[in-house]
Structure 1
Amino acid sequence: MTSPTHAPAHPCAGCGASVAFAPGTTAMRCPYCGLEQQIAPPTRQVREFSYEAFLAKPRVQTLAPHQFTCPGCAARTESDAISKACQFCGTVLVADTANDSQIAPEAVLPFTLDRDGARTALRSWVRTRWFAPNRLKKVTEAESMKSTYLPHWTFDAGTVSDYVGQRGEHYWVTTSYTDGSGQRRTRRERRTRWYPAAGRVARDFDDVLVPATTQVEDLDKLQPWPLKQAVPFHPDYVAGHHSLRYDTEPPVGLEQAKLHMRDVIHGDCRRHIGGDVQRVFSVDTNYSNVMFKLVLLPVWAGNYLFGGRTYQVLINGANGAVQGDRPYSAVKITLAVLAALAVVGVVVWLYLANRA
């Protein structure tokens, strides 16, 4: 099944060109004359959808690409993107997701960081790479920097977990030993008594976030995201920016979300066990009222060239957090190791001198 292209929803009132969403605003801006047109405020709230109801529906096994017909030059192209620019004339193209066989995006977190902001974030990140070569500080801009909305799933769930484990309580005993000079001495040693523990904990999860695309790695490292600022999806917010379709289905996403939930639940079990230390042997979790949605999150994705090699960098388009590959300076690392060894040597020498 294919989806038709949205014609420009708001052609520029000044010059007729297709306008694009301007990061950090609630407006569409013409890239040619600069005229801005406000995006209408949303008339509804962001919704969550029943995962159980989703499972009851027939699934689409194969997905046809979106077919775009450019309203500017009439060129016809196919793509897995939700939004992009025409490769021939640059006209803004947005697919009609309402008729897509995939789940339509429910929400979008609009870009707040524009291109200049992304450059500033990259420069700041480069300056704080301690073990990078000094020449890296001269990198001020990625060779290519593309504003991209990347699909993510969010999951809500109520959980009740039964656990089995042990509670450890510390106590102290006095023991005797013979030191290096043959003298008998005493010292206090900490021991632990273990007691069986079992119980039940409950927790409600809200907006557990997992990437819905495998095309970009390390997206988890861009968290946290201000998800409460997400708005109901509207084509105006993605116009002029690249947007990817998801390739991770909800069942796979839910299993990934459960891994995040599991870590939190294990922490709840340990706190419920109490004592000084805890062991958790097994946790049996029941999930109820599972809800989910598809949200598009803003990322500046780019590459920079250094030393003949290309490095990828991702910038959170909402708060400027940077995650990326970087080169390392062998000289700086070697000097740091030598400095650490020197410090250890001084400490050992002082210890031996005091014992003498």
Structure 2
Amino acid sequence: MTITYKCHSCGSAMEFDGPTQTLKCDHCGFGISVEEYERLYDNEGETKENQSDDNNVKIYHCQSCGAELITDEFTSATICGFCGNPSLVEDRLSGDFSPSLVIPFKIDKENAKNIYQKWIKKGPLTPRTLFSKSTIEKITGLYAPFWLYDYEASDYMEAAATRTRMERHGDYEYIYTDHYAIYRDVKADFVQIPADASEKMPDDAMDKLEPFDYQEMTDFKMPYLSGFLSEKYNFTSEEMEQRTRARANQYITDITRGTINGYSTVNILKNEVSANNTHYDYALFPVWMLNYKFNGKDYQFMLNGQTGKIVADRPISMKRAFAWFGIITTGAFIITLIGGLFIS
């Protein structure tokens, strides 16, 4: 089934607005908080039944214009290509697929486009196609699925260290090397280590988009997704746990090693780490994405929809590179020529 949140003032579809943190109607300007909407109009979004389930493709009907919405098996929120109104695919957000937490979008589309335009202007060799309005309009807000894990971690570390000191006696300098046996037994709790659970999102880029501000994380409510795309997880919590366990092991190792200071040399002899997963949550985090192709190669611009942090690939236009080289060469030639005239 699909759900569309209708404005109770004019009947138009409402979308979640990041800057005001409300469900907002672009038609009449009516706005209401997610909590207030659910309290007053709980489950009043209109729904219709799923129409098909062939080859992992599902077809739904737009609640505003009646057009068919075609989604894959992992899409949980979509936007009608005919009328532009948002729809939530309810069965992708319920049961085992129901998120516990969400960080709402804070940056709206206009701000995301402005951030992108400032970014491309910083690259003098950026291809002109990336400046086009048709490219900029393709930027898309997406809630990415994450698993958040809690760990109780410990590290027992043994090290051999030395400290060198110099003493002068009369005309002689003496260098002493003191040797130390070091033992550390450190315990720490790590809360909500994130792991991107989408097959479509590149792990290295998603890691670089961190950190998200968990202080703005809230209990999941479906209206937060209205107006944005969303994916349900491709990988279960069990499949992703090994990745975050490795991060927890590295965190506790870095903390323990950081307690060994003030020595000339340190040689780690033993490092026994363990991390016990105590809890996990399913959460959705906000990301603005823009995919583009240049000279047959795919590039991606990603923007943290909460903090504004950018992770992106910037292609280089060889035509612009040659043009800039020509300008610089010509300028250098003119300066040299003028300098020669003054000397003569």
Asked if the contact 2:139–2:290 (Cα under 8 Å) also holds between the matched residues in 1, the reply is: yes
Asked if the contact 1:311–1:326 (Cα under 8 Å) also holds between the matched residues in 2, the reply is: yes
Q: Which residue of 2 aligns with 1:139?
A: 131
Does the C-alpha gap of structure 1 residues 228 and 42 become closer, same or farther in structure 2, counting only changes over 3 Å?
A: farther
Where do 1:18-167 residues align within 5 Å? Answer: 18-40=13-35, 68-72=60-64, 73=66, 75=68, 77-79=70-72, 80-96=74-90, 100=94, 102-129=96-123, 133=125, 139=131, 142-143=135-136, 144-167=138-161
Report the TM-score when normalising by structure 2: 0.73
Q: Which residue of 2 aligns with 1:230?
A: 217
Read off the aligned partner of 1:122 and give its amino acid letter.
Answer: Y
Deviation at 1:304, TM superposition (A): 4.6
Q: Which residue of 2 aligns with 1:303?
A: 291
Q: Which residue of 2 aligns with 1:199?
A: 184
User: Percent identity of the aligned residues?
Assistant: 21
Q: Which residue of 1 aligns with 2:193?
A: 208
Does the C-alpha gap of structure 1 residues 231 and 167 become closer, same or farther in structure 2, counting only changes over 3 Å?
A: same
1:136-190 per-residue CA deviation (whole Å, 9 max, x = no partner) reads 698376441011111112111222222233223234599xxxxxxxxxxxxx999
SS in 2 for 1:40: helix
Q: How many residues align?
A: 296
Does the C-alpha gap of structure 1 residues 42 and 138 become closer, same or farther in structure 2, counting only changes over 3 Å?
A: closer
Read off the aligned partner of 1:38 and give its amino acid letter.
Answer: S
Q: Identify the match of residue 268 of structure 1 among 255, 258, 266.
A: 255
SS in 2 for 1:272: coil
Read off the aligned partner of 1:15 and give its amino acid letter.
Answer: C
2:7 corresponds to 1:15: no
Distance 1:258 1:163 in 2: 18
Structure 2: give runs of 5+ residues left out of the alignment. Answer: 39-54, 326-344
Distance 2:226 2:257 in 1: 48
Distance 2:132 2:247 in 1: 36
Asked if the contact 1:167–1:273 (Cα under 8 Å) also holds between the matched residues in 2, the reply is: no
Distance 1:95 1:87 in 2: 15
Does the C-alpha gap of structure 1 residues 268 and 278 become closer, same or farther in structure 2, counting only changes over 3 Å?
A: farther
Distance 2:10 2:101 in 1: 30
Asked if the contact 2:150–2:191 (Cα under 8 Å) also holds between the matched residues in 1, the reply is: yes
Q: Which residue of 1 aligns with 2:333?
A: none
1:58-114 per-residue CA deviation (whole Å, 9 max, x = no partner) reads xxxxx9776644333163644321111234443322122587453421111111111
Q: Which residue of 2 aligns with 1:55?
A: none
Does the C-alpha gap of structure 1 residues 99 and 323 become closer, same or farther in structure 2, counting only changes over 3 Å?
A: closer
1:10-66 per-residue CA deviation (whole Å, 9 max, x = no partner) reads 3122432221111212221223343323322699xxxxxxxxxxxxxxxxxxx9776
Distance 2:314 2:307 in 1: 21
Distance 2:82 2:222 in 1: 21
1:204-235 per-residue CA deviation (whole Å, 9 max, x = no partner) reads 11121221113112111111111110111111
2:244 corresponds to 1:257: yes
Structure 1: give runs of 5+ residues left out of the alignment. Answer: 44-62, 175-187, 336-356
Deviation at 1:292, TM superposition (A): 1.2
Report the TM-score when normalising by structure 1: 0.70
